[in-house]
Homo-oligomer: A and B are copies of this chain.
């Protein structure tokens, strides 16, 4: 996203680059090829408020970008990142080590569909997820491809991720998800069906006056109906470069 590339002789492997975030305070490894994160998890992480003692789980954590941003931004919070692909889990662990965040972030290899085996019920206060969003059957999918697992619903559908959130969150615990705007109805209906009641929605538009590409949704386990639709988030300004708000999010000056 923002990043200049800073190779590290110790922890960065040949097929990886280290992207810098938060004015250089954080470096996150990602693959040069294969699935690469975009702005989605950065915008999602910026919406999560943590209170002292909050236990957080990020489902399908990939490079670990959401746990890393949360730990770098908040002084409190114990965060677990769950990732099905060992190659990504290993890379995420090395980013955690690079940032000296091993005491606060645990990266665990595991399948969201096995959340009941991995964790106890209601054991988290906050759950985050930037799910693989493309239904199987759209676009080319090779189920053995690691990129496909990160992008498509091969290893867990939106419903699987939401079901895991429901199991893992305590009552009144908060779920944060980001999906393509086209899947907003799916997400809202699935959340309500799981009694994770959508409480806040913010749509993300590439520029002023354009359609939304993403939807950021917060839901509360056992919450009452009543959605707050926030002002839209515009990514690019009228001129070149990011809007002031997105620039502030990327630099860590905000929230």
Contacts and interface: CB of A to CB of B under 8 A. Distances in A.
A101 interface: no
Nearest to A215: B229
A231 B215 contact: no
A203 B184 CA distance: 14
Copies of this chain in the oligomer: 2
Contacts of A182: 225-228
A212 interface: yes
A33 B210 CA distance: 40
B181 A185 contact: no
Contact of A189 (B188, B210, B212): B188
Q: Provide the main secondary structure of the chain A interface.
A: mixed
A19 to B, nearest CB: 28
Interface string A178-214: 0001111110110010000110010101001111100
A243 to B, nearest CB: 12
A10 B120 CA distance: 74
A232 interface: yes
A230 interface: yes
A184 B227 contact: yes
Contacts of A208: 231
A198 B188 CA distance: 12
Nearest to A207: B231
Interface residues of A, number: 28
A183 B231 CA distance: 16
Interface string A40-79: 0000000000000000000000000000000000000000
A198 B185 contact: yes
A181 B227 contact: yes
Given A189-B192, A203-B203, A184 B229 contact: yes
Interface string A218-236: 0000000111111110000
Contact of A229 (B189, B203, B228): B203
6 closest Cβ pairs, A-B complex: A212-B229, A181-B229, A209-B231, A182-B226, A185-B198, A185-B188
